[in-house]
Structure 1
């Protein structure tokens, strides 16, 4: 849908193509997979947030950080997944211009936010393991809450800068976005002017937003593994090493494909569009499913709370029956 404007046409909606090469007989399996992923993410992240808010014994710095990560992932999935699910279920692939740019703003804000929150988590673990006697004097609920407010604000500013960078250029014709949701990389190429400068600006921002937290995260975990290896017995060392490597696997799944796609967008290396979208979905939605399990539900305190709640529910059901 377009509106004529002085020999040009202003785009008023975009068409999300999802996986452009996907055959129609795979629409249902893909939509069901995304639907299940969204429901699992919704339940897992909501459970984490509710438990941390309601249970006073979870009012600790680490859990405050985890609650912010769960909220970020929940918002991201809620803003992006329902639309692409409706495309494959009902053929409703169109998205209005304004909603597309709101989605773009949220995608880049929340994506940046995840990087900073995971960095805070790594720093918290470093202080807890490497400086345990000084942990409570260095890290407090008040400090962590303030830092979370700051990174939310910083992420909003980053998302706003990226959205303005894409929104201030004209769109006068092509409106078929080769992605499952609106992002800068897939929307900006639909402009009817040269966007080389805009793409370089976004690449620089993206590298700063992701490489700095990634550097801090890797350094923190290297120091953690070194300290545990030097000071702990073999059993404790193996447990700590397993925990760190599990965390680093999820972190790597979040950062490495993202940085790879950002880089390939700047060099003459052309990936198949469907592979490009698949990689994007892989590093976007899989960590949102894994984060509640890896960072939260595997912890002893939350497992005990869930077991107690489950037992109470079972007892109530027995009494009623």
Structure 2
């Protein structure tokens, strides 16, 4: 039992270990550019789906929730590491670190269940003829709200559990932001192993249960698509599912690798772990591009908007020339 410990007032984010100070400006500029892309891209996707009436369907409502989630995740993780390399501010308060940890895992869990909703949406649309009755805008909104609310309660318990640990001596976090693995590694006492095992169980439920349902859903979708007689219809279904599968892989592959490797005794360098986990923060910059260029309905709606804009500009120009 640990009886002699000092409650830490702050942690120090190590960031990228071994990075030469001469590259700090370049790294901070790159991360700032990525953050700007996350903000602009996800706000654009959300606003465009809300404005464009043809996209106000259950599938794209889930896209809106994912875009909001990605925007929040980028805002939680990137500004602090940008400040570290831009202003030399790598200190984060004790409770500030736990708040960041909560949002990192909370938003990640929400994404996992949102991807589950998205997969079920496509499965029912392709394989079950009752899609218009089951997946209405109202039902999808309720399902997405449940993802936000129920996950909030569950993740709050995980974070509060970790905050009860005594933290001794070291306060250096080997990561670019506060996450459960990095923080609990600094804990001491008999409760550390128990806290880690509870968090692992929660992570596996959050990751593997939705992932299993997602894999089964897309398996049945692919089987149904292969049985379709019309090539055009088959292509349309695949054009909607392909970006969702790509986003799902970008989310699950690095997370599952880090969790399983860390708890099965597989060791890899701190630099490799940081690079893998930083992909969590970079994916939100890629998602809007996938939505726009890989989803047929959004791409067609964007092209139609641009065509209407060009026609409107041409008409205004002709009118001005006629008046002159």
1:141 & 1:71 partners in 2: Cα distance? Answer: 17
Q: Specify the alignment match of 2:187 in structure 1.
A: 191
Name the SS for the 1:270 alignment partner: coil
Q: Specify the alignment match of 2:63 in structure 1.
A: 66
Task: Give me the TM-score of the superposition, normalised by structure 2.
Answer: 0.89
How far 1:250 sits from its partner (Å)? Answer: 2.9
Task: Give me the TM-score of the superposition, normalised by structure 1.
Answer: 0.89
1:306 & 1:280 partners in 2: Cα distance? Answer: 33
How far 1:138 sits from its partner (Å)? Answer: 1.5
Are 2:131 and 1:173 aligned?
A: no
1:182 & 1:49 partners in 2: Cα distance? Answer: 28
How far 1:291 sits from its partner (Å)? Answer: 2.2
How far 1:188 sits from its partner (Å)? Answer: 1.1
How far 1:279 sits from its partner (Å)? Answer: 0.5
Q: Specify the alignment match of 2:230 in structure 1.
A: 233
Whether the aligned pair in 1 keeps the contact of 2:162 and 2:195 (CA below 8 Å) is: yes
Q: Specify the alignment match of 2:51 in structure 1.
A: 54
Larger Rg: 2
More displaced 10-residue stretch of structure 1: 85-94 or 16-25 = 16-25
Is there any run of 5+ residues in structure 2 with no aligned partner, and where? none
2:4 & 2:203 partners in 1: Cα distance? Answer: 35
1:100 & 1:310 partners in 2: Cα distance? Answer: 44
For residues 239-270 of structure 1, the C-alpha deviation after alignment (integer angstroms, 9 at most, x for no partner) is 64565455323312211221111112213322
CA RMSD of aligned residues (A): 2.4
Are 2:154 and 1:158 aligned?
A: yes
Q: Specify the alignment match of 1:142 in structure 2.
A: 138
Given candidates 219, 239, 246, the residue that maps to 2:216 is: 219
Whether the aligned pair in 2 keeps the contact of 1:31 and 1:85 (CA below 8 Å) is: yes
1:238 & 1:311 partners in 2: Cα distance? Answer: 25
1:280 & 1:154 partners in 2: Cα distance? Answer: 25
Q: Specify the alignment match of 2:282 in structure 1.
A: 286
Q: Where does 1:78-89 land on structure 2 (aligned, <5 Å)?
A: 78-89=75-86
2:221 & 2:282 partners in 1: Cα distance? Answer: 26
Q: Specify the alignment match of 2:95 in structure 1.
A: 98
Q: Specify the alignment match of 2:108 in structure 1.
A: 111
How far 1:302 sits from its partner (Å)? Answer: 2.7
Aligned pair count reads 314
* CA distance 1:71–1:196, change in 2 (3 Å): same
